């Protein structure tokens, strides 16, 4: 029989009182199968191909192939989130006091997450995930 015990530390002598723990069905948590390295590599290749196609039409002096190479102005064009994502990003920028650089870093990561998923637009979930990767105590972003 399982027992639930508590210790009384108010007296000069420690005493432990145990009572039977309630019985019930044991639940198991199933962990989803991890994505294989080959599957991840395939998603990365596909995302990079999407990015290369997106930036292929740019003038030659702007030789951009992937989101990491895009400047803030270009990101504003190609990575503008849907309205719910824009609202979340605007609130986060204000609350976290993001600099322009910090704002565009979040936008760049969100665009990349959308590309990895194969999504044509940056959704709120992509912005939320990108924000979750930020370090909250970065001195330069205060």
Tokens of 118: 């194969």
61 or 100, greater pLDDT: 100
Alpha helices by DSSP H, 4-36: none
In the predicted model, is pLDDT for residue 141 greater than 50? no
Q: Which two tokens stand for residue 41?
A: 């590599």
- The pTM of this model reads 0.71
Mean pLDDT, the chain, integer: 83
Whose CA is closest to 128, among 99, 91, 102?
Answer: 91
| pLDDT tens readout for residues 15-57 | 555 566 667 666 666 666 788 999 999 999 999 999 999 999 8
Distance of CA 91 to the CA centre of its chain: 16
Residue 11 falls within a domain, yes or no? Answer: no
Residue 68, in any domain of the structure: yes
Is 115 part of any domain?
A: yes
Alpha-carbon gap, residue 27 to 24, rounded angstroms: 9
Reading the block at residue 66, the tokens are: 């992937």
| Angle, CA of 94, 97 and 99, to the nearest 5° | 115
Residue 28, domain member (yes or no): no
Q: Name every residue whose Cβ is closer than 8 Å to that of residue 80 and which is 6 or more positions away in sequence.
A: 86, 122
Domain count, the chain: 1
Q: Which domain holds residue 55?
A: 38-141
Q: Give the Cα separation of 86 and 76 in Å (integer).
A: 11
Burial (CB < 10 A; 0-12, 13-18, 19+), residue 46, is middle
Q: Has residue 2 been placed in a domain? A: no
What mean pLDDT is predicted for residues 68-77? 93
């Amino acid at each position: 029989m399982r027992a639930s015990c508590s210790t009384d530390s108010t007296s000069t002598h420690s005493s432990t009182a145990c009572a039977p723990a309630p019985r019930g069905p044991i639940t198991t948590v199933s962990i989803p199968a991890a994505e294989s390295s080959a599957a991840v590599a395939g998603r990365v290749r596909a995302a990079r191909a999407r990015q290369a196609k997106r930036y292929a039409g740019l003038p030659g002096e702007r030789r951009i192939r992937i989101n990491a190479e895009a400047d803030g102005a270009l990101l504003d064009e190609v990575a503008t989130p849907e309205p719910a994502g824009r609202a979340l990003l605007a609130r986060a920028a204000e609350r976290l006091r993001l600099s322009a650089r910090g704002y565009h870093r979040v936008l760049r990561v969100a665009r990349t997450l959308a590309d990895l998923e194969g999504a044509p637009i940056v959704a709120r979930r992509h912005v939320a995930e990108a924000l979750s990767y930020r370090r909250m105590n970065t001195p330069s972003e205060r």
